Structure 1
Amino acid sequence: MYIWTASANERVYKNTRITRNSMNFLILESAKNAYVSGQILLRSIEGFEVLDVKAHTDLPCDIYYQRYNVFNDGLPYPDELVDIKHEGKLLVHAHSTQGIWLNLFIPKEAKEGRLNFHVEISTSQGIFTVPVYLNIYNVTIPDTKNSEFNLEYFFLPFDFFPYKDKKEVKSFANYGYKRYSDKWWELMGEYAKSFLQIRNNSLDIRIMPLLADAGSREVENNKWEFNWELFDRFVKFFIDKKAVKSLSCCSIINPVLNDTVLCLDEHSNIVSVKIESEKGEAFTDAFYSALYEHIRELGLLDIFRMRLQDEPHQDKYWIWARKKVERLMPGVVCGEPLDMLSVSKQLKDYCDQFIPRIEVYEEGVDFFRDMQNAGKEVWVYSCCFPEEHWFLNKFTDHPHVHSRLMTWACYSQNITGFLHWGYNYFAENDLYSCLPNARFKGDGHIVYPNTEHNTINISTRFIATRDGIQDYELLKIAERKFKDDAFALSRRIARSFLEFDNDPESVDNTVSKLLKLAEVSQNMI
């Protein structure tokens, strides 16, 4: 049996072999109030079973088996991670490498310094021990809800299409449960736990199904009655889980080039009507007014943001909606994912928060810096494109360390947030699904469905995303006293979304330097 270890930044395939430089012990470094992960790798000339894995430490530690996800290109990509308590015995074939991931949480009250423990791996070929040397630095990052960095995933608690008359499909994100049933809320709790870990602190709210399912409807011609019961319960549920820094209301204008807006009929069905129709005008007036008043009553105006039309390919209807919001929801921040530089420029006098797609940002970097200098907020996002490997992205067939470097590039470019459209879109299509024929592999989901245990499985990209945001928090701590040094460290491995060093050893060494710098900065008087 060959047993060795690897950094969380390394991509380990089934055909990865031990090298002369491989270590049989694991070295980890971490801040406090943070997660840290590493890999233990097993390989044998004979098939064997992994019977159990135990980490002998008092720290919270989840242990995962690496699952290898196969697409039509035939490669088994190491992405999905399966909790060992859900797997039982694991069969490993001869001449095939199997990864085991340790995922430790370091509490705020943990004692800094070196902590040594070991991992015991029971197999059909014997019991093996792997030493772990964990260095805990005396630096504490903020809680998810207080993070400097903003992360927003488009999150799907319902079926793929948020229309009441559409049939729900079991393979979608709700696992076929009746909405708002006990099992459904239990699943929402699993999502909330994952938000805390990945530091997803901007909650995407699919508002129309929440209103429709509560019985909101048109009570007479061009007059609506809104029931906020389910909206309130949904928002409160996630706020109570302590993962919410801001709330982001999903757009009701249909995306891209559409000239229609979502509306409610007399039977609480979600329908689309022309924006420039009498009903379109009346519904948007009623919706924006009622939403503003309700958010004001809840005391959430300071953290509430509006999306108006996703990826608009013309400025007409976005500006139309922005003027309505300015009149009916004064002071509410409006921002949008933008996949065209020309439209971004057309919105410069109207948009509060620019969220260009990565390649659009690179194309218009001077414009977006001008917007930052004008006091506008700038995030970036990814959705399907850019798919070239010379851009950072979150695809399964990119090195998962790209997901970590994404946040370093944000820091280097003074970008304060990242939006990704697909947290849990388990749709059955040929673009971004879990299916083998997906073109944009992994783009629609960074977690995987686990219907048997009513939970979700995280991924190597999930861990890398989380680690990158933890790094960003450390960079912000380090810059308090060592701004130039923090910036230099960041540019060493990610100057932009096109210029980066994804060598795992380079990333490990830079993170180690950052931990030391942040520790000194936070403890200076």
Structure 2
Amino acid sequence: IQLLFFDVPDQSIISVRLTDDFEDRKTDCYELVPVFVEDSSNIDHTNPVPYCPNRVAPFYIYDCLKPLGEKVTPKDGTVGLYLSFPIDKKDKPGLLSGTVMIVVRGHLFEIPIQIRIHEAIVPEKGTLKMVNGYSSSKIPEYFHVEDGSPDHKRIDAEHLHLLRRMRQNMMYVGGVITTRDEEGNYQFDFSPLEHQVEYYQSFGFQYFLMSSVGGRKSWKESTILVGPERLPAMSYEAFRYLSQYLPALRRFLKEKDWTDCFLLGVSDEPNDANATEFRALCGLVRKFFPEIRLADALSYTAVHGALDVWIPLNAEYDKHQKEFESYRTGKDELWHYVCCVPRKEGYINRFMDYPLLSTRYLFWGNYKYRMTGYLHWASNVYQPGQDPFKQNNPSHRNADSVCILPPGDTHVIYPGKDRPWMSMRLEAHRQSAEEYELFKILEKRNKQKADALCEQCFKSFNKVEYNPVLFEQTRIQLLEEASKGTVLNK
């Protein structure tokens, strides 16, 4: 539930209480914090597409969710609240009724509410793989705590809980310490990686995307650089490094019985300039570690046959669907990803100047196109000097390319006071992931019905239904249909 209150003085006292069926139930209450969007960057305003964007900057948007305290901080006299009602799998299906009683400055507001609990149960361990880049190194700077201190560890854990809330189940990992003697022999210390994985597993993360073997030198050049010494991938020196690193990584993952839950990046976003070298590097990786599954984000380019997990930009998949579908050989998987582009043709994304439904539909695309995963580079990767409450179009460097990022591309988590604050877009990710699981439940019983319901709102990555009433009607139908045939635990 989202509510707005007007003509509220600064630092007004507020309280929330629920009655009847909700009196003893857990309720998450948040104050909606307005966030400034200064520019609708990279939009072609000469050829506008409806809803993308649906607001032209500058503007404020209620994206950030601050846990509700005793006092509120209005923006121009307006206070927003967000109330969330967690449903446990042990809850009995049926109708809950009650009243939300909110007192603001001594004024009582009574809002009757009803929530229907359906029989369908979203599995705790989802079938959709999801990874958003996370940077614990941002914590000391943005929370003003000492690196490695108890406060740092607490805030780190709170970030991970938020990622799990939106059903993220995969993390980027790395941290291998590499040393080399004068004769060119390498030693590898995997203990930091081991600690990192076991720590993430304690929060419920199941899968891990190992840091890439290499990375591009330039977007215009063929050269890929590998290892901590950034050796040209096709050089003898790189061969010496890979012939020692990859077998060592293979032994380590095999000893830990982790090979099946790991993916390995090769070189992010191969393009026409480095496609041939990328394919050759993939071959070298397979020579020394044949069991590991290779995964990378990419646009359409000549790297067919190189990977096991293909992660095209959703717009690229849409434009080259036939080719990407032909990559489904053996156990190969198709995922999708979104990033700072495109900002045209109406492709859905998680940008702040797009409707929230644009984020909500991301994993409907996974269901429609049988995509088993999703990747984004940033959950809290604020750029140097960026204040995400005031600046959401920061400059970003990737190799020799510099661009201005669209609003919301750097984060779905905010650096709040003493703890991270989630966003409405994070909640939309969670809801979308839950709906993906509902589609999969229904698919097992009635694929034709599941496909038809998805088609009502999602026709392609740039053709979705933005009428919230029609969306809500379809969502309720999905809940009802997924609940049919459910065996209840008496």
Specify the TM-score bucket, using the shorter chain as the normaliser: 0.7 to 0.9
Asked if the contact 2:30–2:68 (Cα under 8 Å) also holds between the matched residues in 1, the reply is yes
Q: Residue 90 in 1 paired to residue 72 in 2? A: yes
When normalised by structure 1's length, the TM-score is 0.80
Asked if the contact 2:36–2:390 (Cα under 8 Å) also holds between the matched residues in 1, the reply is no
Corresponding position of 2:3? 40
2:342 and 2:159 map into 1 onto residues whose CA distance is 27
Corresponding position of 2:238? 280
Give the alignment partner of residue 290 of structure 1, picking from 248, 251, 258.
248
Corresponding position of 1:443? 409
SS in 2 for 1:138: coil
Asked if the contact 2:145–2:151 (Cα under 8 Å) also holds between the matched residues in 1, the reply is no
Give the alignment partner of residue 119 of structure 1, picking from 82, 100, 106.
100
Deviation at residue 260 of structure 1 after TM alignment? 4.6
Give the alignment partner of residue 176 of structure 2, picking from 202, 205, 211.
211
2:186 and 2:262 map into 1 onto residues whose CA distance is 23
Cα distance, 1:176–1:103 mapped onto 2, change above 3 Å: same
Asked if the contact 1:434–1:441 (Cα under 8 Å) also holds between the matched residues in 2, the reply is no
Cα distance, 1:364–1:430 mapped onto 2, change above 3 Å: farther
Deviation at residue 325 of structure 1 after TM alignment? 2.2
Asked if the contact 1:50–1:91 (Cα under 8 Å) also holds between the matched residues in 2, the reply is no
Corresponding position of 2:289? 329
SS in 2 for 1:82: strand
Deviation at residue 44 of structure 1 after TM alignment? 4.0
Deviation at residue 427 of structure 1 after TM alignment? 1.3
Q: Residue 108 in 1 paired to residue 86 in 2? A: no
2:378 and 2:298 map into 1 onto residues whose CA distance is 16
Q: Residue 193 in 1 paired to residue 161 in 2? A: yes
Q: Which has the higher contact order (CA 8 A, sep 6+)?
A: 2
1:406 and 1:279 map into 2 onto residues whose CA distance is 42
Give the alignment partner of residue 136 of structure 1, picking from 117, 128, 133.
117
Instruction: Show CA shifts across 1:417-458 (max 9, x none).
Output: 2111111101136899962544410101111112x31x2111
SS in 1 for 2:240: helix
- 5+ long unaligned stretches in structure 2: 39-56, 395-404
When normalised by structure 2's length, the TM-score is 0.86
Corresponding position of 2:269? 311
Deviation at residue 181 of structure 1 after TM alignment? 4.0
Give the alignment partner of residue 462 of structure 1, picking from 408, 418, 426.
426
1:181 and 1:413 map into 2 onto residues whose CA distance is 45
Corresponding position of 2:402? none
1:183 and 1:292 map into 2 onto residues whose CA distance is 35
Between 471-480 and 119-128, the greater mean CA deviation after superposition? 119-128
Deviation at residue 41 of structure 1 after TM alignment? 2.5
Corresponding position of 1:156? 135
Q: Write the letter of the residue equivalent to 2:81.
A: I
Corresponding position of 1:78? 62
Cα distance, 1:372–1:409 mapped onto 2, change above 3 Å: same
Asked if the contact 1:48–1:123 (Cα under 8 Å) also holds between the matched residues in 2, the reply is no
Instruction: Show CA shifts across 1:19-70 (max 9, x none).
Output: xxxxxxxxxxxxxxxxxxx212222498883522334533332111111111
SS in 2 for 1:191: helix
SS in 2 for 1:327: helix
Write out aligned runs for 1:230-269 (5 A): 230-242=192-204, 244-255=205-216, 256=219, 257=221, 259-264=223-228
SS in 1 for 2:189: coil
Q: Residue 225 in 1 paired to residue 193 in 2? A: no
SS in 1 for 2:141: coil
SS in 2 for 1:305: strand
Corresponding position of 1:69? 35
2:122 and 2:269 map into 1 onto residues whose CA distance is 34
Asked if the contact 1:39–1:101 (Cα under 8 Å) also holds between the matched residues in 2, the reply is yes
1:383 and 1:432 map into 2 onto residues whose CA distance is 17
1:281 and 1:477 map into 2 onto residues whose CA distance is 47
SS in 2 for 1:67: strand
Cα distance, 1:463–1:363 mapped onto 2, change above 3 Å: same
Deviation at residue 516 of structure 1 after TM alignment? 0.5
Q: Residue 393 in 1 paired to residue 349 in 2? A: yes
Corresponding position of 1:409? 365
Q: Residue 182 in 1 paired to residue 150 in 2? A: yes
SS in 1 for 2:361: helix
Q: Write the letter of the residue equivalent to 1:286.
A: Q
Asked if the contact 1:433–1:442 (Cα under 8 Å) also holds between the matched residues in 2, the reply is no
Cα distance, 1:407–1:436 mapped onto 2, change above 3 Å: closer
Asked if the contact 1:50–1:90 (Cα under 8 Å) also holds between the matched residues in 2, the reply is yes
Q: Write the letter of the residue equivalent to 1:154.
A: G
Q: Residue 378 in 1 paired to residue 378 in 2? A: no
Corresponding position of 1:16? none
SS in 2 for 1:117: strand
Instruction: Show CA shifts across 1:451-490 (max 9, x none).
Output: x31x211111111111011000001001111110110000
Instruction: Show CA shifts across 1:98-157 (max 9, x none).
Output: 3211122211111211122332212115122222211111111111xx312121112222
1:462 and 1:69 map into 2 onto residues whose CA distance is 15
Instruction: Show CA shifts across 1:244-268 (max 9, x none).
Output: 232111213124557353534xxxx
Instruction: Show CA shifts across 1:363-410 (max 9, x none).
Output: 101112222366521111011011226110111111111111111122
1:150 and 1:98 map into 2 onto residues whose CA distance is 36
- 5+ long unaligned stretches in structure 1: 1-37, 160-167, 265-270
SS in 2 for 1:92: coil
SS in 2 for 1:254: strand
Between 194-203 and 223-232, the greater mean CA deviation after superposition? 223-232
Cα distance, 1:490–1:126 mapped onto 2, change above 3 Å: same
Cα distance, 1:431–1:306 mapped onto 2, change above 3 Å: farther
